[in-house]
């Protein structure tokens, strides 16, 4: 049996296909902030044999909704030195290239809350510059003063080697576990 769930803003949906090709659906209420409860609820509500699940696919539109509606908490971003403005510049996303009236959307994180630290990996994940933990500490102190409620960490080439991101998150949790 294949099962897919989606956590939405109001409902958590489930669709399943069993071995005979029968398709079924179920719906339960989304349960913020414990979204996993809504997934468990919808699985139970569907009445499917949980032991028969061979494939489980999970998605959520909660994050997409929060982004498109611009809802959420005040967020700070820590990134690789020299890359503070890359997401705002958005060269990879020009939907209307020749429209001189096109206006880019407002960035999700204000520039004053996008901070850089020294660290660098090459495209193969090899460390070029080690993470400057003192700078991370300074940024966390700055975010505290600014009333930040969440911190995102996005370093260049972390998809191939997440070491610096993991070190940064560990340091943030040590310095400010509430964020």
pLDDT tens for 46-103 read: 999 999 999 999 999 887 888 888 888 999 999 999 999 988 887 666 677 788 888 8
- Check residue 93 and give its pLDDT: 63
Closest CA to 31 of 23, 19, 39: 39
Q: Examine the domain organization and report whether 138 and 55 are in the same domain.
A: no
Domain shared by 61 and 80, yes or no: no
Q: Do 79 and 163 share a structural domain?
A: yes
Question: Percent helix, strand, coil in the chain (nearest 5)?
Answer: 30, 25, 45
Kindly report the CATH number assigned to the domain that includes residue 30.
3.30.420.40
Q: Which residues of 135-168 are buried (b: 16+ CB within 10 A; e: fewer)?
A: bbeebbeebeeeebeebebebbbbeebbebbebb
Burial class (CB in 10 A: 0-12, 13-18, 19+), 110: middle
Structurally, the chain folds into a number of domains equal to: 2
CA distance 13 to 33: 17
Rounded mean pLDDT of 121-135? 97
Q: What angle, rounded to 10 degrees, do the helices at 133-146 and 163-175 form?
A: 50
Do 83 and 135 share a domain, yes or no? yes
Report pTM: 0.73
Q: Average pLDDT, stretch 119-141?
A: 97
Q: What is the DSSP letter of 148?
A: -
**pLDDT score of 94:** 66
- Containing structural domain, residue 37: 2-68
Q: What is the mean pLDDT of residues 126-135?
A: 98
Which of 46, 68, 90 corresponds to the end of one domain? 68
Q: Mark whether 156 and 99 lie in a shared domain.
A: yes
49 and 15 together in one domain: yes
Least confident of 5-19, 95-109, 156-170: 95-109
The pLDDT of residue 159 is 95
Query: Closest Cα partner for 75 from 137, 147, 141, 6?
Result: 147
For position 68, what pLDDT does the model report? 83
């Amino acid at each position: 049996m294949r099962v897919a769930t989606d956590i939405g803003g109001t409902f958590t949906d489930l669709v399943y296909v069993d071995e005979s090709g029968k398709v079924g659906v179920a719906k339960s209420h989304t349960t913020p902030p414990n979204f996993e409860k809504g997934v468990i609820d919808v699985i139970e509500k569907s009445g499917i044999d949980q032991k028969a699940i061979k494939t489980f696919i999970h998605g959520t539109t909660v994050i997409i909704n929060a982004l498109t509606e611009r809802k959420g908490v005040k967020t700070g971003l820590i990134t690789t030195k020299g890359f503070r403005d890359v997401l705002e510049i958005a060269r990879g996303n020009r939907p209307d290239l020749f429209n001189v009236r096109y206006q880019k959307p407002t960035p999700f994180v204000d520039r004053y809350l996008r901070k850089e630290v020294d660290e660098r990996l090459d495209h193969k994940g090899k460390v070029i510059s080690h993470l400057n933990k003192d700078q991370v500490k300074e940024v966390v102190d700055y975010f505290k003063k600014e009333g930040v409620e969440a911190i995102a960490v996005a370093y260049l080439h972390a998809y191939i080697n997440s070491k610096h991101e993991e070190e940064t998150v560990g340091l943030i949790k040590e310095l400010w576990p509430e964020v």
